[in-house]
Amino acid sequence: MKLRYLLRPTLWLIPLALALLLGGCHRPEPLPFRLTNVTGHMPPLEFTLTNDEGKTVSASHYRGKVVLLYFGYTHCPDVCPLTLAHLHVVMQRLGKLADGARILFVTVDPGRDTPAILHGYVKAFDSHAIGLTGSPGDIEALVKRYRASFTREPATTDGNYEVSHSSAIYVFDRQGNPRVLSTPADSQDDLVHDLHLLLSNGAS
């Protein structure tokens, strides 16, 4: 009799614990990030674009990987290469863990950036980098989804034009949830630190 009394409240706790566990699946576990934490402030990664091998890919293709999303263009000789060179160093510093990460370089200049040009470009920086292109509408939708921006300056006589673009790197966890934002002002150490947290966490 006494035992039953003791068990009863415990039995009530089981569904409660289950509910808490299930609830936890919708909200990513808080992690001690150093970069700007954007968890819950941006929508999950979603797109359908063409990769640098000419294949159609969607965001679900990269579920299970920690994704670093960056908007740029290949005719950018200074800032984009600097960012990608930095990310290459970051990947090297992560060592074996870097295999769980992908750098997605989305061009905001699909008119000039074909999959083949993108392929040569991203692979010159890092083996974990993938170039993505698509229709101007699909790219614009992705840019807007993350409140990023880009503008195209008027073309010069020889058809060359400059593009301005968001400088941030958006970092998503293995489930495609946005977690941190890295800007050029942030230190490389902080990005390595936060990627370490995400890559060591929930490895699939």
Partner 1 sequence: MKICTLPLLLAGLMLAAGAHASAATHVTATQGWIRILPGKLPAGAYVTLTNSSDQAEALSGASSAAYAEVMLHQSSTQGGVSRMYKVKSLKIPAHGTASLTPGGYHLMLMKAVRAVKPGDIVKITLRFSDGSSLVSDFIARPANAMGASD
Stretch that binds partner 1, among 1-9, 13-21, 79-87, 134-142 (CB under 8 A): 79-87
DSSP per residue over 98-154, as a string?
Answer: GGGEEEEEEES-TTT--HHHHHHHHHTT-TTEEEEE--HHHHHHHHHHTT--EEEPP
Contact mark string toward partner 1, 46..75, x via CB under 8 A: ----------------------------xx
Question: In this structure, are residues 181 and 35 in contact, taking their beta carbons and an 8 Å threshold?
Answer: yes
Q: How far is the CB of 130 from partner 1 (least distance, A)?
A: 15
* Contact residue for partner 1 among 60, 149, 187, 200 (CB under 8 A): 149
Question: In this structure, are residues 171 and 181 in contact, taking their beta carbons and an 8 Å threshold?
Answer: yes
Q: Which token pair is 96?
A: 């074996």
127 is an interface residue for partner 1 by CB under 8 A? no
Q: How far is it, in rounded angstroms, from Cα 165 to Cα 138?
A: 16
Provide the 3-class DSSP secondary structure of residue 178: strand
Q: How far is it, in rounded angstroms, from Cα 190 to Cα 110?
A: 32
- Choose between 31 and 143: whose C-beta lies nearer to partner 1: 143
187 is an interface residue for partner 1 by CB under 8 A? no
- Choose between 27 and 123: whose C-beta lies nearer to partner 1: 123
- Choose between 33 and 71: whose C-beta lies nearer to partner 1: 71
DSSP per residue over 37-72, as a string?
Answer: E-TTTSPPP--EEEETTS-EEEGGGGTTSEEEEEEE
155 is an interface residue for partner 1 by CB under 8 A? no
Q: How far is the CB of 190 from partner 1 (least distance, A)?
A: 17
* Contact residue for partner 1 among 121, 146, 170, 172 (CB under 8 A): 121
Stretch that binds partner 1, among 24-32, 80-88, 97-105, 137-145 (CB under 8 A): 80-88
Q: Which token pair is 122?
A: 């991203």
Q: How far is the CB of 23 from partner 1 (least distance, A)?
A: 34
